[in-house]
Structure 1
Amino acid sequence: MDKIMPKFHKKIRLDKDVYARDGAVCFITVCTEGKIPLFQNDALTRSFIDQLKTDADSNGVPVFSYCFMPDHLHLVIAPGIRKDIVRFVGEYKGRTTRLAWGFGIKGKCWQTSFHDHFLRKEEDVRASVMYVLQNPVRKGLVTEWKSYPYSGSLVYDL
């Protein structure tokens, strides 16, 4: 007779303290709900960038790089003085969803959760920043990363 095995769900988040650890740098990808290309709307995307700047500044979160692709967002960030990474991203998603409603978007803007990768000591932050900034070039949206209007850094002078 077959035994019924209990279902175990893989935990997608590391322990909470990892997201607040001093010196941690994390590469994050957040996808739009249903992979809808929200960030083809210039005014909406610029308002999301402004909100990112406001949230990062008010929470002391270093945003080493950001890149709004048509259907997802890349960030290289570290925990802030007032917010860990999970809380920062969650609150940002909530605020930007409310912003999007003002542009006529209905319902959720973002998929639940996000993908993360903590940089190891041997991984270079600047290399990760450049990887993010080069994403529009790799996807054929521009020929040179500096010409893409929806990416940048709130830490480095690029």
Structure 2
Amino acid sequence: MFSAINLRKGRVSIPGRYYAITITTHDRRAIFTRLPVNQLLGQEIYKLEDKQYADVIAYTIMPDHIHLLIKLGSTLELGQVIKFFKGRTATLLRNTVTGKVWQKGYYDTCIRREEELLNQARYIVANPLRKGLCERVSDYSYWDCIFLNDAK
């Protein structure tokens, strides 16, 4: 049986480390399909940088989940950063989305070697391609990556 506590087992939060994170919508509902909603999500992703909670390396907004690649800052632990993001977006989407926005918990992977960053960023950005949402990455609007901005 799923338990959010199981997602926390063995989790560490190390400032300055890179993390690949997946956050899923409640019941995997496809609620991130409209431009205004996804623009708001993109703005809130970059608020993580504005508040110096994390540096955003890459992200992709899928219809029922979000992929993030971040470098964790030193002010908050990883769980607190995700809680901030999920709380803000759920509040801001209250009048736009019916019901709960986010599933409990999240998935994360600590990127141990910097040379893995580019591959992880490519994986995140190519997710819409693998899911059949577009024929080329450049056809999908809801992503950004510091390494691949020229590919748009």
* Shorter-chain TM-score range: 0.7 to 0.9
The letter for the 2-side match of 1:119 is I
The answer to whether 1:25 aligns with 2:18 is: yes
2:143 paired residue number: 151
Q: TM-score, normalised by structure 2?
A: 0.85
Deviation of 1:57 (Å): 1.8
2:111 paired residue number: 119
The higher radius of gyration belongs to 1
The answer to whether 1:13 aligns with 2:8 is: yes
Q: Distance in 2 between matches of 1:44 and 1:123?
A: 33
Q: Distance in 1 between matches of 2:10 and 2:71?
A: 16
Deviation of 1:14 (Å): 4.7
Q: TM-score, normalised by structure 1?
A: 0.82
CA RMSD of aligned residues (A): 2.1
1:93 paired residue number: 86
Deviation of 1:35 (Å): 0.5
Q: How does 1:1-158 map to 2 (within 5 A)?
A: 11-14=6-9, 18-19=12-13, 21-103=14-96, 105-121=97-113, 124-153=116-145, 155-156=146-147, 158=149
Q: Distance in 2 between matches of 1:157 and 1:57?
A: 21
Deviation of 1:89 (Å): 0.8
Deviation of 1:15 (Å): 5.6
Identical positions, percent: 27
Higher percent of residues as strand: 2
Deviation of 1:123 (Å): 5.6
Change over 3 Å in CA distance of 1:54–1:138 after alignment to 2: same
Aligned to 1:143, the other structure's residue is in SS state: coil
Change over 3 Å in CA distance of 1:102–1:125 after alignment to 2: same
Q: What stretches of structure 2 of length at least 5 have no aligned partner?
A: none
Contact kept, 8 Å, 2:30 with 2:64, in 1: the verdict is yes
> How many pairs are equivalent?
146
